[in-house]
Amino acid sequence: MRLIRYLPLRVLSLLVAIVVALVAGKFGGEEYELRDPENCKLNFTIISDVHVETNNWKRYPAFTRGLQNVPKSKSGNDAIVVLGDSVMCGQYLENVIFHGLMELFMRGETVLPVLGNHDAGNGEGDPAKILNRWYRFTDAFFDLQLEHPYYYQVVDGYYFIILGSEAEKTDECVYSDTQLTWLEDTLALAAESGKPAFVIAHFPLHWSKDENLQQTWRPLQILQNYYSEHDLFFLCGHHHTPLQRDQSFRFQNGIPQIYAPSLSQLTSGEDYHMDEKTGEGIVVELYEDSITFRGRNFVRSEWVVDDDGTPCERTYELKNPIGPSVS
């Protein structure tokens, strides 16, 4: 029944995506290999802030070329995490284009979308209508029947816990008491697995506000308490953080925090075009006693390095090693 219900939307989106890809795309990006595929326990890709904007044609080649190369790991992806702001204003056609491209390039992948402020309208239009549109598209393309902007999914035994702002003003990040209690309960389930947990949001933690629109550190405190005994990694976007070791891969306020770049970030000013940073995302490789976050440029099909040639990556040792797999 659901397939029939969403069939017209899926067909329309796919047809639009094919046209966009043929006009703006550049095909033939290279496959890549994990550092140690035989011993990798879990690998997934992080992309953020794609910002599909209907009338901004200069951005089209960036997100089209970037998205097509995300699933090109020779080992496959256990998940693809999309950290929000996939579109610019939550408009219908923007969602058609973005989700059509995801269908074209990533069909069959486990995609975990996060609600960003731009996905929720960025202050334009009817917030309730735009949020319902996001629910509809995530259901149609990612098989997620959501009632709230927060949810969790277990991938190969690992908990991916997605937070979502409940603000009426989309430039604010509001977490209700209900959502934060849910977060604590879900982390308790993750603890039972004995495996690292991933808490994921569009906004960094310092944006967090309570239901009275007052800054709150409760989300951070919940994560700090959990990290005192268990392995946890917080992933966020929003800031379009450049992929440099000291900026993106942090140990901040007592927990590991990963700040993702914008996949289709362009240069600003009059000369608005793709540059060497356009197309950046993060490849995550989890091993028996460590986890590595590696910057990859999906437009240029290459690993990201700093100006001095140092790889933009960081390895964190696990508090609780996973141990060898049982055959």
37 within a domain of the structure (yes/no) = yes
Q: What is the DSSP letter of 269?
A: S
CATH number at residue 34: 3.60.21.10
Of the candidate ranges 109-113, 208-212, 223-227, 306-310, the one whose mean pLDDT is the lowest: 306-310
Confidence (pLDDT) at 267: 81
324 within a domain of the structure (yes/no) = no
25 within a domain of the structure (yes/no) = yes
> What is the C-alpha separation between 278 and 207, in angstroms, rounded?
26
Q: Which CA distances in Å does 155 have to 24, 80, 111, 302?
A: 33, 11, 11, 27
Confidence (pLDDT) at 307: 85
Q: How confident is the model at residue 202 (pLDDT cuts 50, 70, 90)?
A: very high
56 within a domain of the structure (yes/no) = yes
> What is the C-alpha separation between 144 and 140, in angstroms, rounded?
8
Render pLDDT for 180-191 as a digit per residue (tens, 0 to 9): 999 999 999 999
Phi, psi of 298 (to 5 degrees): -85, -15
Render pLDDT for 9-59 as a digit per residue (tens, 0 to 9): 999 999 999 999 999 887 778 999 999 999 999 999 999 999 999 998 889
> What is the C-alpha separation between 261 and 304, in angstroms, rounded?
12
Mean pLDDT, residues 70-90: 96
327 within a domain of the structure (yes/no) = no
Position 64 pLDDT exceeds 90:
yes
**Pairing between β-strand 249-252 and β-strand 302-303 as defined by DSSP bridges:** unpaired
- Pick from 68, 61, 129, 71: which is nearest to 95 by CA? 129
Render pLDDT for 306-321 as a digit per residue (tens, 0 to 9): 988 899 999 999 999 9
Q: How confident is the model at residue 244 (pLDDT cuts 50, 70, 90)?
A: confident
Measure the CA dihedral 31/264/111/39, to 10°: 40
158 within a domain of the structure (yes/no) = yes
Confidence (pLDDT) at 132: 95
Confidence (pLDDT) at 137: 97
Position 327 pLDDT exceeds 50:
no
> What is the C-alpha separation between 19 and 288, in angstroms, rounded?
44
The structural domain count of the chain equals: 1
Q: What is the span of the domain harbouring residue 36?
A: 6-317
User: Which pairs count as long-range contacts for 147-152, CB under 8 Å and 24+ apart, including other chains?
Assistant: 148/179, 149/115, 150/179, 150/182, 150/183, 152/186
> What is the C-alpha separation between 44 and 235, in angstroms, rounded?
12
> What is the C-alpha separation between 134 and 110, in angstroms, rounded?
17
325 within a domain of the structure (yes/no) = no
Mean pLDDT, residues 95-118: 97
> What is the C-alpha separation between 39 and 32, in angstroms, rounded?
16
Average confidence score pLDDT of the chain: 93
94 within a domain of the structure (yes/no) = yes
Mean pLDDT, residues 241-256: 89
> What is the C-alpha separation between 94 and 17, in angstroms, rounded?
11
Confidence (pLDDT) at 1: 54
Q: CB-based contacts of 208: which residues, under 8 Å, 6+ apart? A: 173, 175, 215, 216, 217, 218, 219, 220
Q: How confident is the model at residue 124 (pLDDT cuts 50, 70, 90)?
A: confident
Whether 288 and 321 have beta carbons less than 8 Å apart is answered as: yes
Confidence (pLDDT) at 326: 43
- Pick from 113, 153, 152: which is nearest to 133 by CA? 113
User: Which pairs count as long-range contacts for 272-281, CB under 8 Å and 24+ apart, including other chains?
Assistant: 272/58, 273/58, 274/61, 274/62, 274/299, 276/300, 277/242, 277/243, 278/62, 278/66, 279/62, 279/65, 279/66, 279/69, 280/243, 280/304, 281/45, 281/46, 281/47, 281/48, 281/66, 281/70
> What is the C-alpha separation between 161 and 139, in angstroms, rounded?
18
Position 238 pLDDT exceeds 70:
yes
Mean pLDDT, residues 233-239: 97
